[in-house]
Amino acid sequence: MLSALTIARNTLIESLRQPVVFLLVIISGVLQILSTWWSAYSMGYRSDPGEITSDDKLLFDIGLSTIFVCGMLLSAFISTAVLSREIENKTLLMMVSKPIPRAAVILGKFIGVATAVLMAVTVMLIFLMLALRHGVMSTAADSLDGPVIVFGLGAVFLSLAFATLTNFLYGWNFPQVTMAALTPLSVIAYLAVLALSKKWEPQPLATDFLPQVTIACGGIVVSILVMTSIAIAASTRLGQVMTIVVCVGVFALGLLSNYFFGRIAFENTPIAIIADAQPLDEFKPTLKNAGEHYVVTLKTPADIDLKPGMQFLYGSTPNGLSLADSPSKETPPIEVIKDDIFPAGTPGAVVITEVQDLLVAIRNVGSPPAKVRRPPQAGDFVFLEPTKVRVVPAVAWAITPNMQFFWLVDAISQAQPIPLKHLWLIVAYGGFQILTFLGLAVALFESRDVG
């Protein structure tokens, strides 16, 4: 780890010296400013629920998309500059000729590049948060947000002035000093903006802070780190142009993974959607034990006639992925003797016991009972058959980095709460992807001739 951290430090310095880092950050900031003018398309009303309303929804969508693309390009450019270019110039030969494992070289390069990318993306996201605080300029009569303009532009100008002065006096690298100064100054500027209202009146920091938007931004950060690991793996064998091509290809495939693989990997047909679900006994609300009942209200009549004895399967996805209750291995329907009584030896399953129009009574039966992860809830899809899994598309869907998992803008636009637990699931998913591609990078680099 000591060797890897030393390599990471040198890689970070070399990464920040790349002019492309400074240029992409400035371009992203300029686009955020322009988005406050060209996002006025009346996307709703200010009275809409949620942290972001009206035209700011489009502003957030455009701004986060800009950061998504800029971060992907940034990781590809930096990775090739610190790895493939050093291999081509034979400068990496001095490093691997020493008693340093090649895995430590890959790990150090990734940590250094990832840190540089995180610094750049942090500044980009703060530009976006400042733009959201300012809001879209729908008409010429809209007032400007003074604290956003003063502190936001002030952080940029101070960074540029400090970098210019140190470059002139001491010969320090201009892009490196600019990014090193802009990262903490932009954070300070954002905190100062949160502490003041648009009328320069003091206010609590939480007044204009957007926690749901912050969670969505965290998902994008994880996705960019995944792209960084992919760029590191590609740059062990490819040059700059081909590395960028690979990153763009994986990025596009990840965005379309659900369409190409996910929609055909799991096959099931929902027959109804649950509008409401309540336990028959409030002291037994889990539906995990045999004999526990639930009464489910459907939004519309089911596509087929429901009868007692039929299995009742439910889940949150329309293709039947990850059903909340386990299906019975027996062929349905399960026999019902009378008065909600089931014969001995009944297999474990959640079955329908009574149907009255849109009301459906269900019960967990069998010994042992069916395994239930959670009780039914509003919005769940109802199925009568187990989900069929197609192995090849399911494996392709599982191993492809799914960029849709990191994209949480739709939930923000529709005012749907994003639980913090979901962010940790995204972090875990991204972490496994990063370890996978770093392992691939080590395997590719071990046999690479750098002499």
Question: Judging by DSSP bridges, how do beta strands 266-267 and 293-298 pair with one another?
Answer: unpaired
pLDDT at site 341: 53
Measured CA to CA, the distance from residue 219 to residue 198 in angstroms comes to: 29
Q: Where are the alpha helices (DSSP H) in 80-173?
A: 85-88, 93-96, 102-134, 146-170
Residue 29: closest CA among 200, 225, 193, 183: 183
pLDDT at site 344: 58
Long-range contacts of range 423-431, CB-CB < 8 Å, 24 or more positions apart? 423/215, 423/218, 423/219, 426/218, 426/219, 426/222, 427/218, 427/222, 429/222, 429/405, 430/222, 430/223, 430/225, 430/226, 430/406
pLDDT at site 49: 66
Residue 181: closest CA among 164, 148, 153, 158: 158
Helix (H, G, I), strand (E, B) or coil at 403: helix
Query: Which residues lie closer than 8 Å to 153 by C-beta, 6 or more apart?
Result: none
Question: Measured between alpha carbons, how far is residue 104 from residues 61, 82, 231 in Å?
Answer: 38, 14, 17
DSSP bridge pairs for 351: 311, 363
CB distance 239 to 263 below 8 Å: no
Measured CA to CA, the distance from residue 365 to residue 127 in angstroms comes to: 56
φ and ψ at 273, to 5 degrees? -125, 135
Question: Measured between alpha carbons, how far is residue 122 from residues 71, 116, 307, 320, 411 in Å?
Answer: 10, 10, 56, 38, 22
pLDDT in tens, the chain (451 residues): 778 888 889 889 989 998 989 999 999 999 988 888 877 765 555 556 667 777 788 889 999 999 999 998 898 888 888 777 777 766 776 666 677 788 888 899 999 999 999 999 999 999 999 999 998 887 666 788 899 999 999 999 999 999 999 999 999 999 999 999 999 999 999 999 999 999 899 999 999 999 999 999 999 999 999 999 999 999 888 888 888 899 999 999 999 998 899 888 988 899 999 999 999 888 888 898 888 899 999 999 998 899 888 889 999 888 888 898 888 765 555 555 454 555 556 678 898 888 998 999 999 888 788 899 999 999 999 998 888 999 999 999 988 999 999 999 988 888 888 988 999 999 999 999 999 999 999 998 887 776 6
Global confidence as pTM = 0.84
pLDDT at site 76: 87
Structure token pair of residue 316: 């949150």
